[in-house]
């Protein structure tokens, strides 16, 4: 059964979106589908502020802690799993809430995911940013205009897609259909005061260390997994892993992780403000720092 009674709750890390989703779910009887690319992995529950056992006991959660860190989930894989979960929830006659901070997941739901054939980025990787931009001005001017200065990876992808598929990345994206039908969902952006958000980021990171984040990092680092795996790019992992290896003091590692968390939250805020202009805004000034 297609989902029709949905609330999408997006926002920056530590902004209070998880607390809002829990409160709404308890009030409406909804189930929560996670939209966080790191909470998918079960290995860093503390460091990613994943829903606790108590949260899950109160409200059913989906796509949280369902994968091992050795796996690599793409946006497409998440979208397939999320739509299956939403259809199952709808078939049982319950509302659903999609909550998280991964902007590409929300874009896939509301705008669609282009079915672009695989391309070899290495063919474009040897070009400079100036050369890529000059080429894209004729191949894909829309992409050239929207890709921020210094974002070489997106420039390479746009160039590779245009030259190897015969169709620009912008054209592929424009031809996609949203996974969710218009009129079936309501969007809410959690938009806290920036100064307070940064303070929450700092406090939560310190609390994570007290709650066992170092032990999680130590256990995961000991597995010697491929460094490019998504789970090992969780915010704070690299900084705390440096302490585990004896390369940084705990105080320095915490400070570095706090700084990276603040920068990540800032990037999320900028992304969501640009991508969700029509969504309802909620200021969680007194909300807990979770989520």
Q: How large is the average pLDDT for residues 76-99? A: 96
Compute the mean pLDDT over every residue in the chain, rounded to the nearest whole number. 93
| In the chain, ranges of CATH 1.10.20.140 domains | 122-174
The pLDDT score that the predictor gives to residue 286 is 43
pLDDT digits (tens, 9 = 90+) for 113-132: 887 888 998 989 889 999 99
Looking at the chain, the whole-number percentage of residues with pLDDT higher than 90 is 84
pLDDT digits (tens, 9 = 90+) for 247-263: 999 999 999 999 999 99
Confidence of residue 200 (pLDDT cuts 50, 70, 90): very high
The pLDDT score that the predictor gives to residue 288 is 39
Contact in structure between 239 and 256 (CB atoms under 8 Å): yes
Looking at the chain, the whole-number percentage of residues with pLDDT higher than 70 is 97
> Taken in order 226, 227, 233, 235, is the CA torsion positive or negative?
positive
The pLDDT score that the predictor gives to residue 291 is 67
The pLDDT score that the predictor gives to residue 241 is 98
The pLDDT score that the predictor gives to residue 123 is 86
Token pair belonging to 77 = 């894989």
| In the chain, ranges of CATH 3.40.50.300 domains | 6-113+177-193+273-282
Q: Determine the Cα–Cα distance for residues 98 and 30; give it in Å rounded to an integer.
A: 10
pLDDT digits (tens, 9 = 90+) for 226-248: 998 999 999 999 999 999 999 99
Topology of domain 194-271, per CATH? Helix Hairpins (1.10.287)
Exposed / middle / buried, residue 7 (Cβ in 10 Å: 0-12, 13-18, 19+): buried
**Taking Cα atoms as reference points, which of 165, 161, 152 lies closest to residue 126?**
152
pLDDT digits (tens, 9 = 90+) for 49-59: 999 999 999 99
Confidence of residue 289 (pLDDT cuts 50, 70, 90): very low
Residue 7 bridge partners (DSSP):
97, 186
**Taking Cα atoms as reference points, which of 42, 6, 12 lies closest to residue 24?**
6
The pLDDT score that the predictor gives to residue 290 is 56
pTM given for the model? 0.84
pLDDT digits (tens, 9 = 90+) for 133-179: 999 999 999 999 989 888 888 899 999 999 999 999 999 888 788 99
CATH class of 122-174: mainly alpha
| In the chain, ranges of CATH 1.10.287.890 domains | 194-271
The listed CATH number (3.40.1620.10, 3.40.50.300, 3.40.50.970, 3.30.2350.10) that belongs to domain 6-113+177-193+273-282: 3.40.50.300
Note the helical H segments in the chain: 17-28, 53-58, 75-91, 103-111, 122-125, 129-139, 141-146, 152-165, 169-174, 194-211, 213-221, 237-244, 250-275
Of the listed ranges 43-47, 110-114, 221-225, the one predicted with least confidence: 110-114
């Amino acid at each position: 059964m297609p989902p029709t009674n949905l609330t999408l709750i997006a926002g920056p890390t530590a902004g209070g979106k998880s607390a809002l989703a829990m409160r709404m779910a308890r009030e409406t009887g909804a189930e929560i589908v996670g939209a966080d690319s790191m909470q998918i992995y079960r290995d860093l529950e503390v460091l990613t502020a994943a829903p606790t056992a108590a949260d899950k006991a109160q409200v059913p959660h989906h796509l949280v802690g369902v994968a091992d860190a050795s796996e690599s989930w793409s946006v497409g894989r998440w979208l397939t799993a999320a739509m299956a979960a939403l259809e199952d929830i709808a078939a049982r006659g319950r509302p659903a809430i999609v909550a998280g901070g991964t902007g590409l997941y929300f874009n896939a739901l509301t705008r669609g995911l282009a079915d672009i054939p695989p391309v070899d980025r290495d063919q474009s990787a040897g070009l400079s940013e100036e050369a890529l931009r000059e080429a894209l001005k004729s191949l894909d001017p829309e992409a050239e205009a929207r890709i921020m200065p210094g974002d070489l990876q997106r420039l390479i992808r746009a160039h590779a897609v245009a030259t190897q598929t015969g169709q620009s990345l912008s054209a592929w994206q424009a031809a996609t259909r949203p996974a969710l039908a218009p009129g079936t969902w309501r969007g809410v952006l959690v938009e806290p005061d920036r100064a307070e958000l940064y303070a929450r980021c700092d406090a939560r990171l310190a609390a994570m260390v007290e709650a066992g984040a170092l032990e999680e990092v130590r256990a995961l680092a000991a597995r010697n997994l491929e460094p490019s795996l998504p789970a090992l790019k969780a915010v704070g992992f690299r900084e705390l892993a440096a302490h585990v290896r004896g390369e940084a003091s705990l105080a320095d590692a915490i400070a570095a992780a706090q700084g990276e968390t603040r920068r990540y939250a800032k990037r999320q805020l900028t992304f969501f403000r640009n991508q969700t202009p029509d969504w309802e805004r909620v200021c969680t000034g007194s909300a807990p720092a979770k989520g």
